Amino acid sequence: MQKYVYYFGDGHAEGNAGMKNVLGGKGAGLAEMTNIGVPVPPGFTISTDVCTYFYAHDKNYPPELKDAVAENLARVEQSVGKKFGDPDKPLLVSVRSGARASMPGMMDTILNLGLNDETIQGLAKHDERFALDSYRRFIQMYSDVVLEVDKEHFEHELFALRDRAGVKTDAEIPAEALRELVATYKGIVREKSGKDFPQDVQQQLWGAIGAVFNSWNNQRAITYRKLNGIPDDWGTAVNVQSMVFGNMGNDCATGVAFTRNPSTGEKRFFGEYLANAQGEDVVAGIRTPLPISKAQAIENQKSLEETMPEVYAQLEDVYKKLEAHYRDMQDIEFTIEHLKLYLLQTRTGKRTGFAAVKIACDMVDEGLINHTEAVSRVEAGQIVQLLAPVFDIDEKQKALKGGRLLGRGLPAGPGAAAGRIAFNAERAVAMAKDDPVVLVRIETSPEDIAGMHSAAGILTTRGGLTSHAAVVARGMGRPCVVGAGSVRVDYGRAEMRSEGHEPLEEGDWVSIDGTTGEILSGKLPTKPSEIIQVLLEKTMKPEDSEVYRNFDRLLKWADEIRTLGVRTNADTPQDARVARLFGAHGIGLCRTEHMFFQEERILRVREMILARNEAGRRKALDEILPYQKADFEGIFRELDGMPVTIRLLDPPLHEFLPQTEGQMSTVAREMGWGFVELRAKVNQLHESNPMLGHRGCRLAVTYPEIYEMQVRAIFQAACAVKKDGIDARPEVMIPLVGTVKELTMLSEMVRRVAAETLKEQETELPIIVGTMIEIPRAALIADKLGEVAEFFSFGTNDLTQMTFGYSRDDAGSFLPEYVDKKILPKDPFESIDQEGVGQLVRLGTQRGRGANGSLKVGVCGEHGGDPDSIRFFRTCDLNYVSCSPYRVPVARLAAAQAELEFKHFEG
């Protein structure tokens, strides 16, 4: 007979951490904690198989489930010495959903189930107020979740009651008033659902279990699964667990904690608690919770370590045990009932990029994990957070002395942000189009996501380090300060006040330091991150920056794992230098047109374009050559010994010409042309669809002398630096090829000119010529192109543009809607469309290699720096990816992770 229910309690569980598929994340954690001797209230988990069965059988349960639940409930009763539905010693339980992956769209937990008009007597024997408080919470939660009576109706009554009683918190409402409230609540249920609140505890239990399974297919959950790629057939588990009470007086509490600081990674226990409170009160942000440790407390906050030292010591033992056992930072939930500690949840804690890197490195040093595990522990995209600017210390000191400190909150997301104040998400989105914005809220909720995303920083006046704002900001890598109680926000007046300061209004500048929690008025200047200071500016020594040292170690471990090369897209010696310092081992794309735009050169370029004949064009090109040569020399010097892929001129020529009549008359004067004549020439070069027009290798078919000059400049430069002992390795790349003939014709020309140049210079260098694959046709005929080219580089920006037929410059007007409506899973210009464009990459690579076994293949679009795309490129067996200099660290890490996954998948 199939096992559907798994018991945990009294130091032994039928499940364990490895059974997430069956027990869900929460259930597996409860089982594992029980097994390793952590105090957990006993209970049982109804497996995900029941959920699967439920949907396969028209929402019926397996016939043996009823008995299994009854048996396990009896075990729980036995264990705690109470009985479910017993008026004298009632057992109360929580009913908690729990899928394999955490799913915020699912059913809310129901606490205190098993209370009714009789069982409340049993509770009331000890403490009447507590019993009534639990009952009113239960009626509200159960009605909201199971009976679909909106919780607003109940909250409305609760708030009204608080006003009448003249108290601020629920904990101060007297028992008498609570009794009335319970009666009112029952009335609401009767009115809204047409039935009495269920008094039968079995009916309550099965109602709750059914609600969990039904919630697997509510709209929120379906949407969440789609967005996060969670399969619909996984199903959820249900946990039924005996209640422990954090709301039975001042020797009771509830809290959440991280085994290390989730914001900085510091190895210190870190968390928050509320005395005399139940479960969700901590996350709800109704009262700002207190710190658990003395070290964490500011001003005169009473930490748990001070108020309940014995329990705190127990909690310390437990967190150490859990961390050593899971070998990763844990996020835990606990409740204290009359000074006795219980753990209610443990899971891998979410963390910032800073924390992820530090924790991974520290755990290697502590011998908990190896290098490979460390590399897989840091989300590749998160590492850019470490490169973000910080406030200049001197400037901040000056501002502090100048009385600009508005207050302090909790440092919830590290980094510095200065921006204009917006008091709601909508305004933040609108204002962020012009200036950086700091979103200032009392607290945030899921409706604010878009505003949080567009903000440079987030500030809230309520809530703790596990509040919505803190969790979301950390996920997005936004600097964030929460719970800044000394700052008051008035939405009505759209202003923010703090004592001794002028109120700030929407649009005023404010600066927040998410690493320290400081809030300052005005716009504070930032300075580069420590990593930039060490690597690029050399204003800091590696030994003075732990952030840098960990960054460097982790990326070196990644380099040992990865097989995919990482190059950079760089057009200037400066960019090339930055990328090399970040660990790029070559240039995958050097665009030559940027060199044409600089001051003195543009005039010569225009002369070249406007020349009436070839002789005139060659004369102008001769004058451009020394500039190009000098640029290439600079780049070769920076990349001594590394490949430099240089793309010959790509954009349509009209891009170099003046566009407005005003500019035209200036240029006409400079060049000694008549205005009318110039305007006519500009109009003649105008194209309706320039991106599909006379550009790329098509230019060289018409004007071969342009590419000839560029090739000469490249090889003259290579020879020149070689005389200084520099090992220049140019690779010449022909853009926008769509036919074999284009490539054969132009690569012959490149080889001829390169050979001539080398001969003139009396130097020997390999001549390497390849092509970009950015027109779908080129990918399809890659077998033929592979016979001619020595390398391919997929220009995935143009390839995406042409495969979809979306203009990259105009797609912004409809792509967001495409993503919203799930026509596309993601913006294909950000992350490669594996299904379509990706197929061309895979096929082009296979066909090209079929013709030329030693063909080198890379990618040089934006996708070269996107972790998901990199994972895909590894499966296509590319040689390298090339990305912008600041994405190089991301690509190194992502390439290593891609390797680990690929190896794993290949077995």
The answer to whether 315 contacts ligand ADP (rule: CB under 6 A) is: no
Q: Give whole-number Cα distances, 659 to 605, 608, 675, in Å.
A: 15, 17, 13
Among 22, 68, 237, 344, interactor with ligand ADP by CB under 6 A = 344
User: Which segment (239-247, 555-563, 623-631, 810-818) binds ligand ADP by CB under 6 A?
Assistant: 239-247
Tokens of 860: 């040089």
Among 305, 331, 333, 513, interactor with ligand ADP by CB under 6 A = 333
Least CB distance to ligand ADP at residue 8 (A): 12
Select which of 590, 719, 860, 876 is catalytic: 860
What is the residue-wise DSSP string for 385-406? GGGS-EE-HHHHHHHHHTT-EE
Which CB, 115 or 405, lies closer to ligand ADP?
A: 115
The answer to whether 345 contacts Mg ion (rule: CB under 5 A) is: yes
Among 34, 47, 109, 247, interactor with ligand ADP by CB under 6 A = 109
The listed partner (ligand ADP, Mg ion, none) that binds 109, CB under 5 to 8 Å by sort, is ligand ADP
Which CB, 94 or 140, lies closer to ligand ADP?
A: 94
Residue whose C-alpha is closest to residue 634's, from 622, 624, 644: 644
Instruction: Determine the Cα–Cα distance for residues 638 and 462; give it in Å rounded to an integer.
Output: 51
The answer to whether 94 contacts ligand ADP (rule: CB under 6 A) is: yes
Q: Residue of minimal CB distance from ligand ADP? A: 279
Q: Which residue has the tokens 């608080």?
A: 162
Among 107, 173, 201, 244, interactor with ligand ADP by CB under 6 A = 244
Size of site (CB under 5 A) for Mg ion: 4
Least CB distance to ligand ADP at residue 880 (A): 43
Instruction: Determine the Cα–Cα distance for residues 744 and 734; give it in Å rounded to an integer.
Output: 11
Q: Give whole-number Cα distances, 499 to 264, 475, 736, in Å.
A: 30, 32, 63
Q: Which residue has the tokens 């109120």?
A: 503
Which CB, 96 or 729, lies closer to ligand ADP?
A: 96
State the Cα angle at 31 between 25 and 34, rounded to 5°. Answer: 140
The listed partner (Mg ion, ligand ADP, none) that binds 742, CB under 5 to 8 Å by sort, is none
Which CB, 344 or 555, lies closer to ligand ADP?
A: 344
The listed partner (Mg ion, ligand ADP, none) that binds 795, CB under 5 to 8 Å by sort, is Mg ion
CA atoms within 13 A on the CB side of 417: 32
The listed partner (ligand ADP, Mg ion, none) that binds 41, CB under 5 to 8 Å by sort, is ligand ADP
Which CB, 243 or 405, lies closer to ligand ADP?
A: 243
Least CB distance to ligand ADP at residue 733 (A): 52
Looking at the chain, the number of H-run helices and the number of E-run strands are 36, 34
Q: Which residues contact 10 (CB under 8 A, 6 or more apart)?
A: 42, 79
Q: Residue of minimal CB distance from Mg ion? A: 798
The answer to whether 279 contacts ligand ADP (rule: CB under 6 A) is: yes
User: Which segment (51-59, 128-136, 240-248, 866-874) binds ligand ADP by CB under 6 A?
Assistant: 240-248
The answer to whether 96 contacts ligand ADP (rule: CB under 6 A) is: yes
**Length, in residues, of the chain:** 907
Size of site (CB under 6 A) for ligand ADP: 14
Least CB distance to Mg ion at residue 99 (A): 13
Helices (H), 115-239: 119-124, 128-145, 151-165, 175-193, 201-215, 219-228
Which CB, 111 or 898, lies closer to ligand ADP?
A: 111
Residue whose C-alpha is closest to residue 883's, from 897, 895, 865: 865
Q: Give whole-number Cα distances, 878 to 823, 844, 864, in Å.
A: 29, 11, 11
Among 41, 122, 463, 844, interactor with ligand ADP by CB under 6 A = 41
Q: Which residues contact 768 (CB under 8 A, 6 or more apart)?
A: 729, 730, 731, 732, 790, 791
The answer to whether 111 contacts ligand ADP (rule: CB under 6 A) is: yes
Q: Which residues contact 844 (CB under 8 A, 6 or more apart)?
A: 773, 778, 779, 780, 782, 792, 794
Helices (H), 435-497: 449-454, 468-476
Instruction: Determine the Cα–Cα distance for residues 698 and 701; give it in Å rounded to an integer.
Output: 5
468 is catalytic: yes
Contacts 24+ apart (CB under 8 A), 499-506: 500/403, 501/406, 504/406, 504/421, 505/421, 506/420, 506/421, 506/422, 506/423, 506/427
Select which of 51, 361, 371, 468 is catalytic: 468
Which CB, 312 or 632, lies closer to ligand ADP?
A: 312
Least CB distance to Mg ion at residue 798 (A): 4
Among 133, 328, 518, 798, interactor with Mg ion by CB under 5 A = 798
Which CB, 109 or 261, lies closer to ligand ADP?
A: 109
The answer to whether 241 contacts ligand ADP (rule: CB under 6 A) is: yes
Q: Which residues contact 440 (CB under 8 A, 6 or more apart)?
A: 421, 422, 423, 459, 460, 489, 496, 510
Helices (H), 445-512: 449-454, 468-476
The listed partner (ligand ADP, Mg ion, none) that binds 798, CB under 5 to 8 Å by sort, is Mg ion
Least CB distance to ligand ADP at residue 39 (A): 12
The listed partner (ligand ADP, Mg ion, none) that binds 657, CB under 5 to 8 Å by sort, is none
Q: Is residue 565 exposed (0-12), middle (13-18) or buried (19+ Cβ within 10 Å)?
A: buried
Q: Give whole-number Cα distances, 160 to 92, 163, 183, 189, 578, in Å.
A: 28, 5, 15, 18, 62
Least CB distance to ligand ADP at residue 243 (A): 4
Which CB, 41 or 353, lies closer to ligand ADP?
A: 41
The answer to whether 479 contacts ligand ADP (rule: CB under 6 A) is: no
The listed partner (Mg ion, ligand ADP, none) that binds 466, CB under 5 to 8 Å by sort, is none
Residue whose C-alpha is closest to residue 606's, from 590, 592, 583, 624: 624
Among 13, 17, 50, 243, interactor with ligand ADP by CB under 6 A = 243
Least CB distance to ligand ADP at residue 41 (A): 5
| Site pattern 729..768 for ligand ADP (x: CB under 6 A) | ----------------------------------------
Least CB distance to ligand ADP at residue 110 (A): 9
Least CB distance to ligand ADP at residue 274 (A): 10
Q: What is residue 59's three-state secondary structure?
A: coil
Q: What is the DSSP letter of 11?
A: T
Instruction: Determine the Cα–Cα distance for residues 750 and 709; give it in Å rounded to an integer.
Output: 10
The listed partner (Mg ion, ligand ADP, none) that binds 243, CB under 5 to 8 Å by sort, is ligand ADP
57 is catalytic: no
Instruction: Determine the Cα–Cα distance for residues 709 and 722; give it in Å rounded to an integer.
Output: 20
| Site pattern 846..885 for ligand ADP (x: CB under 6 A) | ----------------------------------------
User: Which segment (241-249, 523-531, 638-646, 885-893) binds ligand ADP by CB under 6 A?
Assistant: 241-249
Instruction: Determine the Cα–Cα distance for residues 475 and 901; give it in Å rounded to an integer.
Output: 23
Binding to Mg ion in span 755-794, by CB under 5 A: 774
The listed partner (ligand ADP, Mg ion, none) that binds 279, CB under 5 to 8 Å by sort, is ligand ADP
Element (H, E) at 112: strand 110-113
Q: What is residue 461's three-state secondary structure?
A: coil
Least CB distance to Mg ion at residue 129 (A): 26
β-strand partners of 495: 490, 505
Instruction: Determine the Cα–Cα distance for residues 459 and 443; give it in Å rounded to an integer.
Output: 8
The answer to whether 335 contacts ligand ADP (rule: CB under 6 A) is: yes
- Binding residues (CB under 6 A) for ligand ADP: these are 41, 94, 96, 109, 111, 241, 243-244, 279-280, 333, 335, 344-345
The residues that are catalytic are 468, 860
Contacts with Mg ion by CB under 5 A lie at: 345, 774, 795, 798
